[in-house]
Amino acid sequence: MAFWRSKITPSQPESNDATPSGEPAGTGRLFSKFSNGLQKTRRVLGTDIRDLFKSEGRLVDEEFLNELFARLIRTDMGTGPANKIRDEVARQYRGRVVHLEEVIATITDEVREQLRQDHGGLAKSDSGPTVVLVVGVNGSGKTTSIGKLANHLNSIGHSLVLGAGDTFRAAAVEQLTIWAGRIGCEIVTGKSGVDPASIAYQSVDKAIELGSDYVIIDTAGRLQTQSNLMQELQKIRKVIDKRLPGAPHEVLLVLDATAGQNAISQAKGFSAAAGCTGIVLAKLDGSAKGGVVLPIHEQFQLPVKFVGLGEGLTDMAAFDPDSFAEALFQN
Ligand SMILES: Nc1nc2c(ncn2[C@@H]2O[C@H](COP(=O)(O)OP(=O)(O)OP(=O)(O)O)[C@@H](O)[C@H]2O)c(=O)[nH]1
Ligand SMILES: [Mg+2]
């Protein structure tokens, strides 16, 4: 378990950034990735909070706390997390004149604390290929996230098979085939309209035959309210388990960060129906509401495993609460 987390930490840059010998090329790459990806959120949050202060500082009273709360929830962090931050600022500073830096340090600590989680890394099976099933609503970023994940796994020396399980749209198969070509990994495809469960089965079969380390299976976008399509996911899972008992080892739910609070209700339906084990929060770079990570984390028992920070093959990072919290405010 958690191999990737140990590869990507704030002090250990991604292997993508490693020198050819495998030695780290430098530190802080993950932080700078978050920092770039969170530009939009930071612009809103940072500016909003700075605006609360005058150069001589500001008295922490009810009015200040209410204004702070209103600005925090503009990042879509929701009332629960924003209340906790407000309470912590009140506890530390009520009745005192504070400066911007003090409040930002408190908020950063509180965000970091709220996002603390145990199982950040990608699952790894003890023997045989690790099977990762990727699910989510239409257009959330599933196929792109698979490309990035596959690219990363490949770059650190893992062999893998992709399964083009979105047989609903011919373009989806093409899209994944292009990613596989760019990465140089195996892919299992079928004709448009074939049962996605059979593609899933064949993908696992292929990985077993080749002795691959990972199988990542794409699925068509669906809504949690489409019960027939949710049942299809169950079938896919069952068929995978039949070929490789205990698999899939990871069911990643891809959420679109630009969908804000909607992402949360999507996650609820999916996590229950598809047996999700982790979240990929895609398009964090395109959102000014990156605070949505907090309620997702608060309301689900699911760890946020990866975040999408752009459209390129390397624009993904293992989620790290420390880097995330700091990147929210860094200038
Ligand atoms: N900026 C940005 N764009 C992203 C990211 N991830 C995906 N996208 C874009 O979002 C759009 C949809 O991505 P896909 O990967 O095709 O989404 P999907 O969930 O596979 O879509 P369906 O298969 O149609 O359900 C594409 O234009 C991607 O380039 C990200 O992290 N950042
Ligand atoms: Mg897709």
How confident is the model over 95-103, as a mean pLDDT? 93
Residues contacting residue 223 through CB under 8 Å, at least 6 positions apart = 137, 138, 229, 266, 269
Q: Are 314 and 21 in contact (CB under 8 A)?
A: no
Report the separation in Å between the CA atom of 98 and the middle of ligand 2, taken as the mean of its atom positions: 48
Q: How far apart are CA 165 and CA 48, in angstroms?
A: 44
Per residue in 182-235, pLDDT tens? 999 999 999 888 999 999 999 999 999 999 999 999 999 998 888 899 999 999
Residues contacting residue 189 through CB under 8 Å, at least 6 positions apart = 164, 173, 176, 177, 199
Q: How far apart are CA 258 and CA 239, in angstroms?
A: 33
Report the separation in Å between the CA atom of 178 and the middle of ligand 1, taken as the mean of its atom positions: 14
Give this prediction's pTM: 0.86
320 annotated binding-site participant = no
Checking DSSP bridges between strand 97-98 and strand 278-282, what pairing results, if any?
unpaired
Q: How far apart are CA 300 and CA 318, in angstroms?
A: 18
40 annotated binding-site participant = no
User: Of 23-37, 179-193, 296-310, which gets the smallest average pLDDT?
Assistant: 23-37
Report the separation in Å between the CA atom of 306 and the middle of ligand 2, taken as the mean of its atom positions: 17
The better pLDDT of the pair 271, 107 is held by 107
**Is the CB of 109 within 6 Å of ligand 1?**
no
Q: What is the pLDDT of residue 68?
A: 94
The candidate with the shortest Cα–Cα distance to 168, out of 192, 144, 135, is: 192
Report the separation in Å between the CA atom of 321 and the middle of ligand 2, taken as the mean of its atom positions: 28
273 annotated binding-site participant = no
Which of 44-48, 87-91, 169-173 is the most confident on average? 87-91
User: Of 30-39, 159-168, 199-208, which gets the smallest average pLDDT?
Assistant: 30-39
How confident is the model over 13-24, as a mean pLDDT? 32
| pLDDT tier at 25, thresholds 50, 70, 90 | very low
The better pLDDT of the pair 31, 94 is held by 94
Residues contacting residue 8 through CB under 8 Å, at least 6 positions apart = 14, 15, 30, 317, 318, 320
How confident is the model over 63-85, as a mean pLDDT? 92
Q: Find the largest Cα–Cα distance for the chain.
A: 68
| Ligand 1 atom with least separation from CA of 139 | 21
Q: What is the pLDDT of residue 16?
A: 36
First vs last C-alpha separation in the chain: 35
Q: What is the pLDDT of residue 27?
A: 33
Q: Which residues pair with 255 in a beta bridge?
A: 281
**Is the CB of 37 within 6 Å of ligand 1?**
no
How confident is the model over 113-134, as a mean pLDDT? 89
Q: How far apart are CA 130 and CA 122, in angstroms?
A: 10
The ligand placed nearest to the CA atom of residue 164 is 2
Q: How far apart are CA 243 and CA 245, in angstroms?
A: 6
Q: What is the pLDDT of residue 87?
A: 97
**Going by CA atoms, what residue is nearest to atom 24 of ligand 1?**
139
142 annotated binding-site participant = yes
Per residue in 263-285, pLDDT tens? 677 677 788 888 899 999 999 88
184 annotated binding-site participant = no
- Residue 35 above 90 pLDDT? no
State percent of the chain over pLDDT 90: 56
How confident is the model over 114-120, as a mean pLDDT? 80
Q: What is the pLDDT of residue 6?
A: 30
User: Of 30-39, 149-158, 216-225, 300-309, which gets the smallest average pLDDT?
Assistant: 30-39
- Residue 62 above 60 pLDDT? yes
Per the listing, tokens 């020198």 go with 19
How confident is the model over 140-154, as a mean pLDDT? 95
Sign of the torsion angle spanned by Cα atoms 11, 14, 15, 19: negative
- Residue 20 above 50 pLDDT? no
**Is the CB of 139 within 6 Å of ligand 1?**
yes
DSSP 249: S
